[in-house]
Structure 1
Amino acid sequence: MSLPPGFLDELRNRLSLGQVVGRKVMWDTRKSNQGKGDLWAPCPFHQEKTASFHVDDQKGYYYCFGCHAKGDAISFVRETENVDFMEAVKILASEAGMTVPERDPQAQQKADQRAVLTDVMEQAVKWHRLQLQTGAASEARDYLERRGLSAEAQTRWEIGFAPAKGGVLASLTGKGVKQDDVIAAGLAAESDRGGAPYDRFRGRIMFPIRDARGRAIGFGGRAMDPNHPAKYYNSPETALFDKGRSLFNHGPAREAAGKGKPLIVAEGYMDVIALAEAGFTATVAPLGTAITEDQLRLLWRIAPEPIIALDGDTAGLRAAMRLIDIALPLLEAGKSLRFALMPEGQDPDDLLKTQGAGAMQKLLDQAIPMVALLWRRETEGKVFDSPERKAALDKALRDKIKLIADPSIRTHYGQAIKDMRWALFSNAKPGPRKGPQRAWNGRQEAWKRDVSPVATSKNSALGTGAAAEDHLREGVILATMIAAPAVAAEFETALEQLECRDPLHQELQNLILRHLGADDLRAVILGELGETPLEKLMSQSHVAISPAIRRPGDAEIARLCLTEEFAKLMARRGHAREIEDAVEDLTGVVDEGLTWRLAQASAALDKAGRGDNEDRAEYVIGENGARMKKDEQNAFDQLLDQIGFAKGTERPKS
């Protein structure tokens, strides 16, 4: 059965030979360099103990230095599965998500036609090269010289020129090439008005486009007329040229990347040439369009983490942002993108001319991961000063992360977003991670000095009793969240708003918020802080007897416990704040608004505290029916006396 032209090329491009072979062999990890696609294993075709079987994953070929077996993915499947050619193609097509075309009786004819068109394109490359040396191309030569391209560089890149008159169509047909073949190669076009065919490229500098195997498949033409509406113009889609599945400088860049050069993706032909001439030889560019899914797969076949170096203008940034949405669903372990952001208003060629290769290398070294650019896209220029805006940001980021198919990558993206979100919204920025023991040693003295917030409440009349109880409630909340991470995520907003007054509690609060969603939150915290801080938390008496801690697997108990503890803590602190605000507002005259505020705060505190199982004898009933602890009532009375209530004046009811 004959296959349509290009089908096998597409099949090989979509598959990783390393993955195909990896099902049959065990890679030698000491000898292999998986990041570069340089893989070694004992040969599956003959018995041996040493790793003499080599796979070049970037080029898609294998070779055994022992038995001399060699081939590509199709031949490997044929030999190892003992199937014929078409069966091997069907197996691989199924893995690649491709449908094997039906029998094509004209397949050989099409293959022959492609060979003819390839020859036509090679003749066109040579003809355009000759035209660059003519008098009509003097302006083009001056332009290339101003752009810093020497005659040697122009030869290396086979740069040519298409004159405004007397173009390639007349030249090739004059040498016996069929007019239809020139048109089929995309070099000429039929007139819409019924006239004679005309040259597609006129008055342009010509850049040949070659496929991964080095065959000329198209051209990119740069207009010499600065007012021309199409500055760059590419060959149309032909039997040879599919611009959405091609890359400029594909073959040389693949070879350079195999030798360790970083794969760079620039925006246009001149950027690629400038970078390659400066030593960044593994540079490619899409062909006049935004990067497509197929081009992205081609890039990952060359290198696992290409660096996108688009122009530092609005259009370049928009292109980078659009690429995120294309790449997210395609991400795999070890395959991602990094972004080197050019200075504003500059492209790689400008940067090289003004600051040199060192500046470019520095930008490449500082290339940011895709998750950082995703965060920048969703937050830059925006203000998150309300719960609604924060919620909108959360939703936008969640929707993007859901696009990632790989569950492991999705989890890591979620964690990275949590870290950045915490850094944006928290006053206490998370610092660099330290080893457990070192982290504990660095914090131990501070925690010893302030085991309980009671010591810091000397200026508050309610400090001795209420602050100690707040400390215990904080401990129960944090311990419950660590014991029930699945439930903890439901209380993220409440935890963010919690003002922990104990340094240990603050540290645990930060870690819980940063790692919400982790399957084993306790293990993560142990890895960050070691065992001592958790032991310190769990040893608190109020924590140890909490039902949620005594029955750690019961999600419903954990949920009820957190609901109750947050309600009590928020109500008590709201009560204290009302008293503080009232003291500040008091000007010597007691008005109804002040007494109403204090009464409402007491009522809220009473409502939240009705679930306590403590001895009722410790409580007193205020004139409005609200319950308060005796020490709180005494402190409350003392405070009112201190702020000047004379005997006989109606006082706020507790």
Structure 2
Amino acid sequence: MDSRPPRPILFGMSLPPGFLDELRTRTSIAQVVGRKVLWDARKSNQGKGDLWAPCPFHQEKTASFHVDDRKGYYYCFGCQAKGDAVKFVQETENVGFMEAVEILAREAGMPMPVRDPADKVRADRQTRLLEVMEVAQRHYRMQLQTGAGAEARAYLAGRGLSPEAQARWEIGFAPPGWQGLWEHLTGRGLDPDLILAAGLARPSDKGRQPYDVFRNRILFPIRDGRGRVIAFGGRAMDPNDNAKYLNSPQTELFDKGHTLFNLDRAREAAGKGQPLVVAEGYMDVIALSEAGFGAAVAPLGTAVTEHQLRLLWRIHPEPVIALDGDKAGIGAARRVMDLALPLLEAGQALRFAILPPGQDPDEVIRAGGAGAMRKILDEARPMVQILWDRATEGRVFDSPERRAALERDLTAAIGRIPDQTLRHHYAEELKRLRWELFRPARTGGGARKGGWPRAPHLRPVASTKSSELVQAIPRFEEELREAVILAALITHPELIAQFAGELETLVCAAPDHAALQQALLSLPPQDDRDAMLAAVERRIGPEPLEKLFSLSHVRIAPPVHAPGDTEKAALCISHEFNRLIRLRGAERDIEEGMRDLEGFADEGVTWRLSQAARARHGAGLSQDEDEADFELAPNGAHVDRDERDAFAELLDRIDYGKGRTSRRNAPES
């Protein structure tokens, strides 16, 4: 006996109003199509939702099939096949329209509606409601140009909005008076029931005719993703009004938690590469758009909702939340962060642009122009930093218990992230921030915070700068090991995911290496060496690759000259990362010792420097061990010896005021 629940009885040829729009919002056409095609890495830009592949509907070798994930459509320049996600499922699965809708709805977690004989009636009613809203919008727009709208026009001009800008945004005005709009709409023969249902008027409880919702307010039309007016937002002209801003009530057309102001225009602008900026109010969005930031939106009088967050991510993978820098704005940013944590996925993030206290985007732009706002947006901080700031702000961590409490709080916060890989990277970044916070730091007073005091016997040192000494230490071995790591990962791109955490935290000593590092981290996953080489070359050009693979120690490294052994390549990469960590740990001790020598020195400091130098030299493998285990270049050992000798020479050149220091006086280890 079939235990599955009975399938719902579906509509014949129609669906409830808004159902398909909701389905398209929840569905990524890139994911739907991606099950049937292999994307062309050379032509595609996944970050912008711009994807190309060989067409699944006709035989071809070139990638002429284009998918725009943000707009939700595909088009083949070869056979002219086109459509949305529903059409694609119909064509590839050989199913009808309603069955394709059912497939996508099931994947999106949306229950299919059952048959409703009144569906056509509701669809017709929605169309008539939209017509009422358009008539009201034209009336409000006309009222702004009358004598009654003079004060409102003056206010808008004072906010920097020219008549042309007012027209672009179709800003209107509701004059004082209780039935101005009601009389206009009923005088045009519109159904009173529809006027009330559209949220434009309310019935009177005193037996009078209904009264207008908006009175003596500047009105901003709120449109859905298809550009249709579904509501209004009103700004009071009377400073004593109980509500400075007032939105339309919830209606059959409008749910304030499910839409965003300027959604239709922002979607188009974001599709052209502009950053998606989430501001607080209408005027902020208008100011941003007029200044060139066209992909600006705002929630509608409430905190950002989960539905709005998902809507934002459908438009752009990394929206920027731009809120005031005061206590309320920072609190709002943190609430958005808490909402977003359980929804995060790889490639789906938020950044936070914190404005100067007391200023909103409109004020920033009026004071400093678009350049000032762009600088703030460019400096937007990742969500992990907002999480860290909240956990550490105003707290002192001077005991193990307090440090443990910090770790507990952070672990609990990132535990809400469902994606395991993303959760791992959050943990790694927070670990780094904790290390920086708790790491004993040198102070000008001569002591470590929580560390050892400076030795008591201090003597002046010659004017040689510690920075010059540090810079003189050769970095050959570090660059050698970086080169082997990068070449091995390019040759074995299937290992990049395994070493992504180490690769992200690697601080490259060579600029070319840094460019290669960023390319490997930003490119989509690849399993083929040639495809990865081609993708890296497109991203940064051929020169860094040519230089990398021309190095003798790279050419003879096992992962490069014997690329068939993935296990040995992984072992070699792990080995090189571990050696770099040890080298740079010892190097930090050397640099701290050098800072101690800035102006003063003592025998204890000199002895610590010598120990650090030995540790740094010991971090590299011996020549025999390198050759036996990993067949690394023989000159690796020579580089170690050169570093040791160069550093010893630098120590010998330090003048302690009473002649050269002698390391024979250093304490025995």
Q: 2:80 aligns with which of 68, 72, 75?
A: 68
2:289 and 2:55 map into 1 onto residues whose CA distance is: 37
Map 1:512-591 onto structure 2 (within 5 A).
524-526=577-579, 528-529=581-582, 536=618
Alignment-derived partner of residue 406 in structure 1: 419
Map 1:4-23 onto structure 2 (within 5 A).
4-23=16-35
Q: Deviations over 1:419-470 (max 9, x none)?
A: 11111111159xxxx9xx938569x9xxxxxxxxxxxxxxxxxxxxxxxxxx
2:341 and 2:39 map into 1 onto residues whose CA distance is: 29
1:247 maps onto 2:260 in alignment: yes
Map 1:264-413 onto structure 2 (within 5 A).
264-413=277-426
Q: What displacement does 1:382 show?
A: 1.7
What SS is found at the alignment partner of 1:67?
A: coil
Q: Deviations over 1:267-296 (max 9, x none)?
A: 100000001001111111111111111111
2:364 and 2:358 map into 1 onto residues whose CA distance is: 10
What SS is found at the alignment partner of 2:173?
A: strand
Tell which has more relative contact order, 1 or 2 (C-alpha 8 A, sep 6+): 2
Q: Is the 8 A contact 2:266 2:276 kept in 1?
A: yes
Alignment-derived partner of residue 158 in structure 1: 170
Which amino acid in the other structure matches residue 350 of structure 1? E
Q: 2:191 aligns with which of 161, 175, 178?
A: 178
Alignment-derived partner of residue 118 in structure 2: 106
Q: Deviations over 1:16-43 (max 9, x none)?
A: 1111111111111111111111111111
Residues 63, 301 of structure 1: CA spacing in aligned structure 2 closer, same or farther, 3 A cutoff?
same
TM-score when normalising by structure 1: 0.67
Q: What displacement does 1:363 show?
A: 0.8
Q: 1:52 aligns with which of 64, 76, 80?
A: 64
Q: Deviations over 1:321-363 (max 9, x none)?
A: 1000111111111110111110011000000011111111111
What SS is found at the alignment partner of 1:344?
A: coil
Q: What displacement does 1:316 show?
A: 1.4
What SS is found at the alignment partner of 2:257?
A: helix
Alignment-derived partner of residue 146 in structure 2: 134
Q: Of the two, which has the highest radius of gyration?
A: 1
Q: What displacement does 1:51 show?
A: 0.9
1:225 and 1:209 map into 2 onto residues whose CA distance is: 22
Q: Deviations over 1:177-227 (max 9, x none)?
A: 011101111111123455431111111000001111111111000011112
1:53 and 1:538 map into 2 onto residues whose CA distance is: 51
- Percent pairwise identity: 64
Alignment-derived partner of residue 214 in structure 1: 227
Which amino acid in the other structure matches residue 105 of structure 1? P
1:93 and 1:161 map into 2 onto residues whose CA distance is: 41
Residues 109, 409 of structure 1: CA spacing in aligned structure 2 closer, same or farther, 3 A cutoff?
same
Map 1:393-542 onto structure 2 (within 5 A).
393-427=406-440, 438=475, 524-526=577-579, 528-529=581-582, 536=618
Residues 523, 15 of structure 1: CA spacing in aligned structure 2 closer, same or farther, 3 A cutoff?
farther
2:575 and 2:429 map into 1 onto residues whose CA distance is: 19
Q: Deviations over 1:357-409 (max 9, x none)?
A: 11111111111100001111111122222222222211111111011011010
2:204 and 2:267 map into 1 onto residues whose CA distance is: 39
Which amino acid in the other structure matches residue 256 of structure 1? A
Which amino acid in the other structure matches residue 223 of structure 1? A
TM-score when normalising by structure 2: 0.66
Q: Is the 8 A contact 2:199 2:251 kept in 1?
A: yes
Which amino acid in the other structure matches residue 55 of structure 2? C
Which amino acid in the other structure matches residue 241 of structure 1? F
What SS is found at the alignment partner of 2:222?
A: strand
CA RMSD in angstroms, aligned pairs only: 2.7
Q: Is the 8 A contact 1:439 1:529 kept in 2?
A: no
Q: What displacement does 1:167 show?
A: 2.3
Give structure 2 stretches of 5+ with no counterpart: 1-10, 443-470, 482-570, 585-613, 623-669
Which amino acid in the other structure matches residue 272 of structure 2? K
Tell me the matched-pair count.
462
Q: Is the 8 A contact 2:583 2:620 kept in 1?
A: no
Q: Is the 8 A contact 2:278 2:320 kept in 1?
A: yes
Alignment-derived partner of residue 136 in structure 2: 124
1:131 and 1:441 map into 2 onto residues whose CA distance is: 71
Q: Is the 8 A contact 1:439 1:528 kept in 2?
A: no
Q: Deviations over 1:59-99 (max 9, x none)?
A: 11111111111111111111111111122112111221211
1:80 maps onto 2:92 in alignment: yes
Displaced runs of 4+ in structure 1, greater than 6 A?
519-523, 530-535, 537-540
Give structure 1 stretches of 5+ with no counterpart: 445-518, 541-654
Which amino acid in the other structure matches residue 25 of structure 1? V
Residues 99, 533 of structure 1: CA spacing in aligned structure 2 closer, same or farther, 3 A cutoff?
farther
Q: Is the 8 A contact 1:526 1:534 kept in 2?
A: no
Q: Is the 8 A contact 1:244 1:287 kept in 2?
A: yes
Which amino acid in the other structure matches residue 89 of structure 2? V
Q: Is the 8 A contact 2:54 2:65 kept in 1?
A: yes
Q: Is the 8 A contact 2:260 2:308 kept in 1?
A: yes
What SS is found at the alignment partner of 2:362?
A: helix
Alignment-derived partner of residue 157 in structure 2: 145
Residues 315, 194 of structure 1: CA spacing in aligned structure 2 closer, same or farther, 3 A cutoff?
farther
Which amino acid in the other structure matches residue 41 of structure 1? A
1:311 and 1:7 map into 2 onto residues whose CA distance is: 36
Which amino acid in the other structure matches residue 315 of structure 1? A
1:173 and 1:398 map into 2 onto residues whose CA distance is: 60
Residues 347, 438 of structure 1: CA spacing in aligned structure 2 closer, same or farther, 3 A cutoff?
same
1:316 and 1:324 map into 2 onto residues whose CA distance is: 12
Alignment-derived partner of residue 559 in structure 1: none
What SS is found at the alignment partner of 1:356?
A: helix
Alignment-derived partner of residue 622 in structure 1: none
2:22 and 2:576 map into 1 onto residues whose CA distance is: 46
Q: What displacement does 1:298 show?
A: 1.1
Q: Deviations over 1:100-140 (max 9, x none)?
A: 12222221111111100111111111000000011111111
Q: Is the 8 A contact 1:64 1:70 kept in 2?
A: yes
Which amino acid in the other structure matches residue 312 of structure 2? L
Alignment-derived partner of residue 189 in structure 1: 202
Residues 191, 304 of structure 1: CA spacing in aligned structure 2 closer, same or farther, 3 A cutoff?
same
Alignment-derived partner of residue 261 in structure 1: 274
Q: What displacement does 1:252 show?
A: 1.1
Q: Is the 8 A contact 2:583 2:619 kept in 1?
A: no
1:327 and 1:107 map into 2 onto residues whose CA distance is: 35
